[in-house]
Structure 1
Amino acid sequence: MSLLQKLPRKPSNALSTLAISTRFFTTQNPNPNAKPNSFPDVPTSAYYDELIHAAGRSRDFETLRQLLNKRLWDGCFNTSKTFNFITNNETGLSILDELPQTLARLDKGLPRKNAYDSLIARLCKLRRIDEALRMIDTMAREGSGPNAYTFLPILDVFTRKKDMEGAWRVMDLMRKYQIPPDKTAYNYILMAYCVAGDLTAAAEVLTKMVGQGLNADSRTYDALVLCACKAGKVEGALVVLRRMIDDGVLVQLSTHMYVIKSLLGLGYYAQAVAYVRCFTGRDTWLDTNLLGCLASKLIESKRFDEAKIVLEEMKEKGLELGNTLSEFYTVNVEDEKD
């Protein structure tokens, strides 16, 4: 195998913070020790989430509307927890009968769009896909601008449960709303096929991406390397990785992990060590994770001699070993030297 050679990099061929306003908005304070009706000069997203949870649970829709508007002007975007007051039972879901009317009264543009996106993500987490789709339809009818990002939580649900027919129906629905699926949407589907090791389907997705004029990014390559490794084609994975580097695309840590695991699984222990050394010496965080993971997996494979060499290298570089590796190093390297 030719992976002992260094992999040179070739040239690539291929909101802002909103102004703080109406600072002293008066509303319910979630902190019982604070002064009544006080509001912090610099609120956080977590603070707003607590206020919104209280308003949502009490069905105080006017306060909910005011908070959802104000938080954006304070630079506090909605989070994955903003709509956690909606629970997956009849009582919790009953708020959906009135909540869209509240969102429709939010300021047009980012406040309304961001609130809808956060609500849809919450519904998807609860696996309430029909309700999420109804919210998208409401957005479209209001002119609130659903886009590809809005559909990603729904696409994530289908791809995670390997319902590829459902995932493709979501892509078709995006087009129905005149929203072309973007690179991220295709990457969701590509990764699902690659996790399953379906090379044929993955190739078809790539063909569709090329047809749409979408270039591969780090997630695209990450999925392809995983697919090759799952199919036992580690040399193919290295070819994809080389193309990734040649195109100037940043290699994710997960991509390296796929290759390391595949090499070790095939018994290519020396090659796995050589592979990792190709990418060390540039970034301390990456060095720590690559060498540490390699050492751990070598120990799991009972390749103690190779593991000790890797740990010695980490010590020489001044890298943190962690508790488990430090214990192994003390017992198997330092004690032997003594």
Structure 2
Amino acid sequence: MAHDVLSCVISRIGECRSNELVEFMWREHSKYESDFSVLDSLMRAFVNADMGSQALKIWDRMREVRIRPSLSAVSIFFALLIRVGDYGSVWKLFRDMIQRGPCPNIFVYNVMILGFCRKGCVRTGENLLFLMRKYGCEPDVIAHNLLISAYCVRGWTSHALNWAHFMAESGCEPSTATFVTIINALCKEGNIVEARKIFEEMQEMGVSPGTVTYNALMDGHVKAREIGNYKYGREDDGNRFLRELSMMALIPDCSISDMSISGLCWAGRLDEALHLLKTMLEKGIPVSIIAINLLICAYSRAGLHEKAFEVYNIMTKFGLTPPASTSTSLLIGLTKVGKLQIGLDIFTGKMHQNGRT
């Protein structure tokens, strides 16, 4: 509470008058507070008020009276300096901590690694990770993940993979986030085979894949147009991945159907998508309106309006009600091929009411 009040006061009076407040608090502080308590409170307050230059002055005063700043205050101070891009002060304080204490903790290192990686200085982040061990601080999973993420962002996926292996060899167990980051990067590159290998390695290491992991793989498979294809160089069902999702109970059955149809539409294989739709409905496999509407729209965009109308008939045959957007799309398409009345019937709902085909 006291820190919050002090931060509020400093924010109100501004940087110019804050020097007066510092001198006022320091003048006779020994009567009620220690040197450390006053200076630590002031440094925290200046950091909270985003006054980095004033916080640096308090740091210097602490050194003058031979006081070590608290690691918690140092951590938030480093975060501020990184945020405003004052990397010169970051290095100055870091060297001061190495020489005079307190020794940087894992949070300080991670803040620095994050800051330098965001700046594009990934090699500097690497060096900091190695430096941690030299000064008795063991890198954690967050430190490794920050570097892996930075490499993936820059498209250096091979470096990210090397770091993941180095991480495991060093005794730091990779997390789900580690694998998701790499899998997502590989999928964006279109390297689905390698992404799948990482996915299998993940499970072998006992790391449970979550919904985010499957989402990344699914996105990659669909964009690579591999849903419904032979993916692995053998006559393996291309929907094996979808079945695995279903077995893991991560997505409902209708979503499996939707993804299968969506993948075929994405690949431009509309007739196969239509055949799959018919088969699923005949076997009682649930399919949502979304997937059917997607197929209708795909046929309409391709100028195959009669095929779109066929999908509509299948929809009504199985008791599914089309949304207004579907009716509008069909009306426009059927009008183009000279079937205005049928389009109007669909739009007004007469066809569905009369059971007309």
Give the TM-score category using the shorter length.
0.5 to 0.7
Percent of pairs with identical residues: 16
- Deviations along 1:181-222, one digit per CA (max 9) or x if unpaired, are 333212211222233343432233234323422221112212
Aligned to 1:268: 226
Normalising by structure 2, report the TM-score.
0.55
Whether the 8 Å CA contact 2:47–2:55 is kept in 1: the answer is no
Instruction: Tell me: CA distance 1:330–1:176, structure 2 relative to 1, closer, same or farther (3 Å).
Output: farther
What is the CA–CA distance in structure 1 between the aligned matches of 2:171 and 2:11, rounded to whole Å?
43
> 1:100 is matched with which residue: 59, 80, 84?
59
> 1:83 is matched with which residue: 48, 64, 75?
48
Equivalent AA in structure 2 for residue 204 of structure 1:
N
SS of corresponding position for 2:197:
helix
What is the CA–CA distance in structure 2 between the aligned matches of 1:278 and 1:196, rounded to whole Å?
35
- How many angstroms does 1:238 deviate by? 2.7
| Residue pairs, 1:89-238, within 5 angstroms | 93-101=52-60, 112-238=70-196
Instruction: Tell me: CA distance 1:201–1:273, structure 2 relative to 1, closer, same or farther (3 Å).
Output: same
What is the CA–CA distance in structure 1 between the aligned matches of 2:64 and 2:14, rounded to whole Å?
16
Instruction: Tell me: CA distance 1:312–1:170, structure 2 relative to 1, closer, same or farther (3 Å).
Output: same
Q: Runs of 5+ in structure 1 lacking a partner?
A: 1-22, 28-44, 71-77, 87-92, 314-327
- Count of aligned residue pairs for this structure pair: 258
> 2:325 is matched with which residue: 302, 326, 331?
331
What is the CA–CA distance in structure 2 between the aligned matches of 1:221 and 1:166, rounded to whole Å?
23
Whether the 8 Å CA contact 1:195–1:230 is kept in 2: the answer is no
**Which of the pair has the greater relative contact order for Cα pairs under 8 Å at 6+ separation?**
1
Equivalent AA in structure 1 for residue 57 of structure 2:
E
- Deviations along 1:288-317, one digit per CA (max 9) or x if unpaired, are xx99x979x97x95999899945669xxxx
Normalising by structure 1, report the TM-score.
0.57
> 1:255 is matched with which residue: 204, 210, 213?
213
Instruction: Tell me: CA distance 1:162–1:98, structure 2 relative to 1, closer, same or farther (3 Å).
Output: closer
What is the CA–CA distance in structure 2 between the aligned matches of 1:51 and 1:204, rounded to whole Å?
50
Structure having the larger proportion of residues in helix: 2
Indicate the larger mover: 142-151 or 195-204: 195-204
Instruction: Tell me: CA distance 1:97–1:301, structure 2 relative to 1, closer, same or farther (3 Å).
Output: same
- How many angstroms does 1:264 deviate by? 1.5
Instruction: Tell me: CA distance 1:125–1:103, structure 2 relative to 1, closer, same or farther (3 Å).
Output: farther
Whether the 8 Å CA contact 1:65–1:105 is kept in 2: the answer is no
Whether the 8 Å CA contact 2:118–2:150 is kept in 1: the answer is yes
Q: Runs of 5+ in structure 2 lacking a partner?
A: 27-35, 229-238, 278-285, 292-321, 328-346
| Residue pairs, 1:304-319, within 5 angstroms | 309=287
What is the CA–CA distance in structure 2 between the aligned matches of 1:278 and 1:50, rounded to whole Å?
55
What is the CA–CA distance in structure 1 between the aligned matches of 2:250 and 2:133, rounded to whole Å?
46
Q: CA RMSD in A?
A: 4.9
